[in-house]
Chains A and B, each alone.
Chain A
Amino acid sequence: GQNIDQPTEMTATEGAIVQINCTYQTSGFNGLFWYQQHAGEAPTFLSYNVLDGLEEKGRFSSFLSRSKGYSYLLLKELQMKDSASYLCAVRARTKYTGGFKTIFGAGTRLFVKA
């Protein structure tokens, strides 16, 4: 089967660094996405990792280890506006059609406090 796990909630302080973990089990793995979703708004694309290693994009970085089925999103210099849900999503090749399917985790709600 396919499963994605991420913590339900996290709290961090403005200016600090926070790491949001995501573990997954899936067949046909073909990449991992991170999305940000503010309350009442659309999820927005943050990053995509398909190879092992760290991808840095400004204050946000995303890491992937395919052998461990593990990813994390690292947020530096936290700002109040970073308070949001962060969704981990795995892209996998479907067994029967050969196409792709994206499976989402339940999301991690991050609270940034002053």
Chain B
Amino acid sequence: ETGVTQTPRHLVMGMTNKKSLKCEQHLGHNAMYWYKQSAKKPLELMFVYNFKEQTENNSVPSRFSPECPNSSHLFLHLHTLQPEDSALYLCASSLNYGDSDANYGYTFGSGTRLTVV
């Protein structure tokens, strides 16, 4: 365990379903991130939250909706997904968004393997 916990580890959903991914960290980090990892492609940054406030949304379709109720929890709500959304979704955290990243990098969770059928 890295200190960042993601649930579920695996998720299969239909295109009309609604589901949520959960990420939790108790490392005292203030910044949390959602990344998408597709096979043989770079990690794609989706959303960034710093002190519970969304600081980045990298042109992510509205069928992905993030929620950050506090600095320890991050959700990704999913609805009407497409088969091309099938990927590994990684949550990460860092002490702060910015300079503090340099010493430790990000702490990643093990991800949720999502399959859209």
Residues of A within 8 A of B (CB): 4, 8, 30-31, 33, 35, 40-45, 48, 50, 87, 89, 91, 97, 99-107
Contacts and interface: CB of A to CB of B under 8 A. Distances in A.
A4 B42 contact: yes
Interface stretch (B59-67, B75-83, B102-110): B102-110
Given A87-B43, A100-B97, A100-B98, A33 B105 contact: yes
B105 A48 contact: yes
A99 B96 CA distance: 11
Interface residues of B, number: 26
Contacts of A8: 40
B65 to A, nearest CB: 22
B27 to A, nearest CB: 13
9 closest cross-chain pairs (CB), A and B: A45-B105, A104-B43, A42-B108, A104-B42, A42-B110, A106-B42, A43-B108, A42-B2, A33-B105
Contacts of B42: 4, 103-107
Contacts of B111: 40, 42
A102 B106 contact: yes
B116 to A, nearest CB: 19
B90 interface: yes
Contacts of A91: 101-102
17 contacts: A35-B108, A42-B2, A42-B111, A43-B43, A44-B108, A45-B104, A45-B105, A50-B102, A91-B101, A99-B98, A100-B97, A100-B98, A100-B99, A102-B45, A103-B45, A106-B40, A106-B42
B32 interface: no
Contacts of A33: 105
B102 A99 contact: no
A87 B101 CA distance: 16
Given A42-B110, A45-B104, 15 more contacts: A4-B42, A35-B108, A40-B111, A40-B113, A41-B110, A48-B103, A89-B105, A91-B101, A99-B55, A99-B98, A101-B45, A102-B101, A103-B42, A105-B42, A106-B41
Contact of A42 (B40, B97, B98, B109): B109
